[in-house]
């Protein structure tokens, strides 16, 4: 039965497990007490999900973003279902763009991830706070930090699972 991704050999199952655990650990980073004047902490769970999805699309099934987003909602305190919806939309958008592009390189991946991160943070703000709250500058700073840290997330994914063409 193919519930957690490809099961053709033991290494693929181990990579799938590592991907799931790394995304869950990325979501748990929000529990680390950080004293800051502004909330700059990027959504590490989302960064790891995007890193795995763009680096090795066959590692996780498309529907895996929903339960991983539920875990992120439960841990981060966001409204229940917001990360589920937004993460699922990101993975579906990446799959749609992936079918349209003939070849993709790191810059395409970074652009896709940057757009997905920005959409998730902006819409997550719309779900979590009133539109009258003045958090636009802080949100822009969080988007910039998150997009800048995306290459680090892909390096972690590469170290955990290796390259697809190896």
Give the C-alpha separation, 8 to 63, whole Å: 19
Q: Which pLDDT value is given to residue 68? A: 96
Provide block-wise average pLDDT over 10 residues at a time, the chain (166 residues).
49 88 94 81 94 91 94 92 95 92 88 95 86 81 95 93 57
pLDDT, position 1: 39
Per-residue model confidence (pLDDT) at position 130: 74
**Cα gap 118→124, rounded to integer Å:** 10
pLDDT of residue 34: 83
CA neighbor of 87 nearest in space, from 161, 24, 132: 24
Which helix (H) or strand (E) element contains residue 27?
helix 10-28
Q: For residue 50, what are its two tokens? A: 């995007």
Which pLDDT score is estimated for 166? 47
Residue 140 has what pLDDT?
92
pLDDT value of residue 10 = 54
Please state the domain extents for the chain. Answer: 10-161
């Amino acid at each position: 039965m193919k519930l957690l991704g490809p099961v053709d050999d033991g290494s693929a199952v181990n990579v799938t497990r590592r991907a799931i655990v790394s995304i869950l650990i990325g979501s748990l980073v929000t529990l680390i007490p950080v004293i800051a004047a502004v909330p700059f902490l990027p959504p590490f769970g989302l960064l790891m999900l995007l890193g795995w999805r763009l680096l090795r699309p066959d590692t996780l099934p498309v529907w895996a973003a929903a339960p991983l987003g539920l875990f992120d909602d439960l841990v981060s305190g966001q409204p229940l279902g917001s990360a589920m919806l937004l993460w699922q939309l990101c993975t579906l958008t990446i799959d749609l763009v992936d079918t349209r592009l003939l070849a993709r390189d790191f810059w395409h991946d970074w652009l896709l991830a940057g757009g997905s991160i920005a959409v998730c943070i902006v819409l997550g703000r719309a779900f979590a706070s009133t539109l009258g709250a003045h958090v636009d500058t802080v949100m822009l700073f969080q988007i910039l930090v998150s997009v800048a840290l995306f290459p680090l997330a892909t390096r972690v994914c590469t170290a955990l699972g290796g390259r697809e063409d190896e």
